[in-house]
Amino acid sequence: MSFYRNAVWFVKGLQEYTKSGYEAAAKHFVAADLDVNLSGRSFMITGANSGIGKATAQEIASRGGTIHMVCRNEGRAEAAKEEIVERSKNQNVHVHIVDMSSAREVWEFAQKFSQSNTVHVLINNAGCMVNQRELTEEGLEKNFATNTLGTYILTTALIPALKKVEDPRVVTVSSGGMLTQKLNVDDLQFEKGTFEGTMVYAQNKRQQVILTDRWASQHKEIHFSCMHPGWADTPAVQTSMPSFHAKMQNKLRTEAMGGDTAVWLSVSAAAIKQPSGLFFQDRKAFKP
């Protein structure tokens, strides 16, 4: 990324992506948008055991939705499930153990799930930022395998099931970091040049935005959207970007603030009045 593009993005981030940016945007939110009863609707959320995914699952469960948590670590997933159930008083919370970086595992899970379950909304939240180039067992660069290919396979595999229900939606948690990157289709595995985790992650998030636009044009029956959660204080940020977290800790959004737009896109009637395929920040669409 160029120094200029990065600097402009960071200044924008300080104004809009922080806790104060959310609080300013929230003054214009319509509170009634989230006053919904989600009983009878099923939500699949990847990476739902912590951070934005868990906060999103909590909000939806509290409104009566059935939750399918797709997680990699069974212990952390079960602990998160117990907390969500306890706080929401909603017993319809289910755990599925899937490694989103494994193409075969994701495909097999989606096929099996579709045979015996209904899904109304898919929330593609799982992601990773590995700062050194690492390959999966299938020989794929791990960030791309998780963030892009895993998201693509799960969404594609569930499209037939989504088309069978009323008001189907797919929401993908992208990142404003993708604004620092133009799409580069010549090196999807990041085999050339210096490997930089934040750049790779931003490329993956740009790819998710492009996929959302393409899916929307191909599958008119489903409402697709993607969103930027802002800079939130999550375990992933603490682990993957420790220096950024240390410097920005007091300015970061809460996990619930980060998940607010994902919840809004998943449950509100207002969201589906927007065209399919758009990128959202704080409940507003803008051109990425």
- Could you list the active site residues? 201
CB 229 within 8 A of CB 54: no
Q: Measure the CA–CA gap between 198 and 181, rounded to whole angstroms.
A: 10
* 129-148 residues labelled b (16+ CB within 10 A) or e (exposed): bbeeeeebeeebbbbbbbbb
**Coil/strand/helix, residue 102:** coil
Q: Measure the CA–CA gap between 208 and 201, rounded to whole angstroms.
A: 11
CB 176 within 8 A of CB 1: no
Tell me whether residue 286 is exposed, middle or buried, using C-beta atoms within 10 angstroms of its C-beta: 0 to 12, 13 to 18, 19 or more: exposed
Q: What is the dihedral of CA 138, 141, 142, 144, to 10 degrees?
A: -110
The helix or strand, by DSSP H or E, that contains position 94, with its residue range, turns out to be strand 93-97
**Coil/strand/helix, residue 193:** coil
Q: What is the dihedral of CA 166, 211, 97, 254, to 10 degrees?
A: -90
What Cα–Cα distance (Å) separates residue 60 from each residue in 63, 112, 165?
5, 24, 18
Q: What is the DSSP letter of 252?
A: P
**Coil/strand/helix, residue 223:** strand
- The tally of CA atoms less than 13 A away on the side-chain side of residue 243 is 1
